[in-house]
């Protein structure tokens, strides 16, 4: 029996590729090349499924050019690189990898918020440049994190994990805004309080963005929103770069109306807005929220589980564990 053909679009753990080879004829990408659009289309010809990352854009035009595709399995929790509606219209299963990266991403988010708030990267640059020659009472003074107000925009799994770190570890007051309010049983252990978006912006000392990106949430933090924030507040974004108007953010940081920012994601990544690079009061990391070895392996394994199940193999054959468009099963 001929095995279905699948594409592994980026380099992943060799053991995961071998798992896939047990079921499929696999074309992998050991060189980890990011393929331009036309090359991706060419590599997808004749493939029944693909294990992809955020580097690969799956839209209606691509699906029409690859009518044999039955499953696209994202190795990420975010899936704004996939047009899920277009997949559903063509009976293509689309999956992501939720849950397995929650705690690791929350760790990075809290660390980045701390680095911004306590001016860690700014102080390190000062030290490395050989400028530290004495102690002074006001050298790199910053607002406290413990006991302050933590604001969370987007209170899903990762938002709740960040709230838990803030409330239980640092005695922070937790405010949040979400499309829907959490059940009281989830709010109570965190002392978390749902507020409208305007109140969240006005009252947060440290605001963390953990909401999904979509056309509706594009630039959800712009000049008007930044103007509502406390002078001296910080902003941390570990979700998607397009949530923030980076030019407006750079202006707020330059003026001092916003004390600092911590950013793991960028609108044009891997390119970073030069206006942000020129500033000292912003801590920058290259989209490494999920970057622990155990978590990345769990993500790859779940993406492989999804692909194996979507194409009819394994104990969950026909029903991938994290299907984004269950309507295709109808």
Catalytic residue flag (residue 287): yes
Calculate the CA dihedral of residues 92, 13, 98, 145 and round it to 10 degrees.
Answer: -150
Q: Is 67 left (phi over 0), alpha (psi -120 to 50) or beta?
A: alpha
CA dist 184 and 172 (Å) reads 19
From 219, 269, 296, 297, the catalytic residue: 269
Catalytic residue flag (residue 146): no
Peptide bond into 270 cis (omega under 30): yes
From 240, 246, 297, 327, the catalytic residue: 240
CA dist 119 and 227 (Å) reads 22
State the chain's maximal CA–CA distance in angstroms. 75
What 3 state SS string does 264-319 have?
CCCCCCCCCCHHHHCCCCEEECCCCCCCCHHHHHHHHHHHHHHHHHHCCCCCCCCC
What DSSP element (H or E) covers 206? strand 206-209
- 97 touches 74 (CB < 8 A): yes
From 287, 296, 297, 319, the catalytic residue: 287
Tokens of 200: 């969240």
How many residues does the structure list for the chain? 330
Catalytic residue flag (residue 240): yes
- Other CB atoms closer than 10 Å to residue 125's CB: what's the count? 12
Tokens of 38: 């036309």
Which residues form the catalytic set? 240, 269, 287
């Amino acid at each position: 029996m001929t095995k279905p053909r699948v594409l592994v679009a980026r380099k992943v753990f060799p053991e995961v590729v071998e798992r896939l080879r047990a079921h499929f004829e696999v074309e992998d990408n050991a060189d980890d090349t990011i393929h331009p659009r036309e090359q991706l289309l060419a590599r997808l010809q004749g493939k029944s499924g693909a294990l992809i990352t955020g580097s690969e854009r799956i839209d209606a035009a691509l699906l029409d050019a690859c009518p044999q595709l039955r499953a696209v399995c994202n190795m990420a929790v975010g899936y704004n690189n996939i047009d899920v509606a277009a997949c559903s219209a063509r009976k293509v299963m689309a999956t992501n990898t939720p849950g397995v990266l929650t705690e690791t991403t929350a760790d990075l988010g809290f660390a980045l918020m701390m680095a911004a708030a306590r001016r860690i990267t700014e102080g390190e640059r000062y030290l490395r440049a050989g400028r530290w020659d004495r102690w002074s009472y006001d050298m790199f003074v910053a607002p406290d994190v413990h006991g302050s107000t933590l604001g969370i925009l987007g209170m899903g799994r990762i938002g709740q994990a960040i709230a838990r770190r803030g409330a239980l570890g640092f005695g922070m007051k937790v405010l949040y805004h979400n499309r829907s309010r959490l059940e009281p049983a989830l709010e109570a252990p965190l002392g978390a309080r749902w507020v409208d978006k305007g109140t969240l912006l006005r009252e947060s000392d440290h605001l963390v963005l953990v909401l999904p990106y979509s056309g509706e949430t594009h630039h959800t933090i712009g000049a008007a929103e930044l103007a509502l924030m406390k002078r001296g507040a910080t902003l941390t974004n570990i979700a998607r770069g397009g949530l923030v108007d980076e030019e407006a953010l750079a202006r707020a940081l330059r003026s001092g109306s916003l004390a600092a920012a911590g950013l793991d994601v960028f609108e044009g990544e891997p390119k970073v807005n030069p206006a942000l690079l020129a500033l000292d009061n912003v801590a920058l990391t290259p989209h490494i929220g999920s970057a622990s070895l155990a978590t990345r392996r769990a993500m790859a394994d779940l993406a492989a589980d999804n692909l194996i199940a979507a194409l009819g193999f394994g104990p969950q054959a026909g029903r991938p564990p994290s299907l984004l468009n269950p309507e295709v099963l109808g």
